[in-house]
Amino acid sequence: MNLDFIGQVAFFKKKTGNDVRKLCKFKNKSSIEYNASLSIKQILEPLVEKEMRDINGMTEKFMRRLMANRMGLFTIVKFDFKDFFPSISLRYAYEFFIKDKINEKYHPLFENYVESVKYNLQGLPPSSNFAAVMAKAMKEGIFAFFKIDGLTDCFYYDDTFVMLFKKRVNHIYIKFGIEECVKNVFNKKNSFKYQNKVKVNNDNEKYVYLNDEKLPCSFSWLGYKFGITYGWQGIGMTIDIADEMIEHLRQKIFEAVRLNYPDTEKLRLMLYSSTRNVVTKIEKQGQDNRNVSITPFKFYKNLVKYKELIGENTVRFLQGVVIDAFRQQTIALPYYLYDQKIESGYNIWHNLFSHRAIVLNKKFGWSYPKLYNILKKHTNLDLHNKPYSELAKIYIDNFVIKY
């Protein structure tokens, strides 16, 4: 059967901050092509480096490495790629890094997909796995090239890489080495039918080079900001992440003001200020178990283990961001934020080090649509005409709240 994958694809643009990304999706999720693409994603799953998908575990390991190296010689390099996903030739990835690692019975399906789609269009079910396979190959290429130069770790998430060396390494040599790795991994056959377009981003924001001679220094990665001084690291959040949090709070506050601060909005704001991390126990067809985002603050649970290293600016921000969000909009504080104490449920800094429950009650906490949509997205269960109490029971039975 010859499937028309590209004929089922719809293209659109999405603006995130100042960036505009070109994305795509399947027009019909009941089509044979869509279900076939889910199968391709699952077949690729064993080839993906699971450790690099676990952001919390990876950043914790990264922090431990920094702590261990803080008194010695070091070099840190961060870089990423320009439009990494759509720059990857599917034919190239399949021929050189996938074909001999999967069962032959899947070859016709992959041939059909790579011939139809051609490049790794972002937004399609297999796109993240194709990118992960190539990112893993890049990591292996980096270790092969820099193995005699003191490279101890190489972390990556999507298209962003961080390399840690246990000695000083010349920045010109490192740039040369990265480019050589790109050639070795992505350009084995220059005349190949569908050539990769992968290029390293070399501008000042995307490429960072630091060593122990440049102290004090700082860099950001995955929303964390690392400030390195003589024998000490200060960990915090980036301005972009802080701005994103403030914008979310503005939306919540606008709704609360519009409704004259009923208890429902009061408690939803408290829920938003929590730090719970929720993981589904149900594996939906074609998907892994996944985190369900309750608040943008859950990510910073990693900081709990390094409380003494958290930067003062981040501490102040998390302590006062809810109140500050009201004040910045020149909105009078509601009654429940007057004389706020450190133990308040609206103090995100306090919430990082406490264990607060999520209340499932339609009068406060999550609304019916919010709870319904989360269950619809992450489970295969029949939710039709079920009352709130049953939805709450389904949620409790099938999700785990992590602290």
Task: Encode pLDDT of 183-221 as tens digits.
Answer: 999 987 655 667 899 999 877 667 899 998 888 888 888
- Does any domain span residue 388? yes
- Based on the fold, state whether residues 396 and 253 are members of the same structural domain: yes
254-269 pLDDT, tens digit per residue, is 777 777 766 666 766 7
Q: What is the pLDDT of residue 100?
A: 95
Last residue of a domain, one of 205, 237, 269: 237
In the sheet where 399-402 sits, what is the strand order? 291-292, 277-280, 399-402
User: How many Å is the Cα radius of gyration of the chain?
Assistant: 24
Q: Please tell me the total number of residues recorded for the chain in this structure.
A: 403
CB 297 within 8 A of CB 403: no
Two structure tokens written together for 61: 């390991």
> Nearest Cα to 334, choosing from 245, 247, 255?
255
Q: What is the pLDDT of residue 71?
A: 60
- Does any domain span residue 261? yes
- Does any domain span residue 375? yes
- Based on the fold, state whether residues 206 and 159 are members of the same structural domain: yes
- Based on the fold, state whether residues 191 and 248 are members of the same structural domain: no
> 365 is in which domain, residue-wise?
240-402
The two beta strands, 291-292 and 277-280, are antiparallel
Last residue of a domain, one of 237, 258, 284: 237
Instruction: Say how many domains are in the chain.
Output: 2
- Based on the fold, state whether residues 248 and 223 are members of the same structural domain: no
Q: CB-based burial of residue 46 (10 Å sphere; 0-12 exposed, 13-18 middle, 19+ buried)?
A: exposed
- Based on the fold, state whether residues 34 and 85 are members of the same structural domain: yes
The CA distances from residue 42 to 102, 164, 229, in Å, are 11, 32, 44
CA atoms of 227 and 136, how far apart (whole Å) = 28
- Does any domain span residue 292? yes
- Does any domain span residue 1? no
Q: What is the pLDDT of residue 304?
A: 75
Two structure tokens written together for 223: 């929303």
- The structure's pTM equals 0.78
- Based on the fold, state whether residues 128 and 214 are members of the same structural domain: yes
CA atoms of 8 and 249, how far apart (whole Å) = 38
Q: CB-based burial of residue 370 (10 Å sphere; 0-12 exposed, 13-18 middle, 19+ buried)?
A: middle
Last residue of a domain, one of 237, 255, 274: 237
- Does any domain span residue 302? yes
- Based on the fold, state whether residues 290 and 397 are members of the same structural domain: yes
- Based on the fold, state whether residues 182 and 244 are members of the same structural domain: no
CA atoms of 99 and 79, how far apart (whole Å) = 29
> Which residue ranges of the chain lie beneath pLDDT 50?
403
Can you name the residues that pair with 226 across neighbouring β-strands? 219, 235
CA atoms of 400 and 292, how far apart (whole Å) = 10
DSSP state of 337: G
- Based on the fold, state whether residues 167 and 244 are members of the same structural domain: no
Q: What is the pLDDT of residue 1?
A: 67
> Nearest Cα to 153, choosing from 58, 233, 227?
58
- Based on the fold, state whether residues 269 and 218 are members of the same structural domain: no
Q: CB-based burial of residue 40 (10 Å sphere; 0-12 exposed, 13-18 middle, 19+ buried)?
A: buried
- Based on the fold, state whether residues 198 and 115 are members of the same structural domain: yes
- Based on the fold, state whether residues 38 and 154 are members of the same structural domain: yes
* H helical segments located in 99-161: 107-117, 127-146
CA atoms of 80 and 158, how far apart (whole Å) = 9
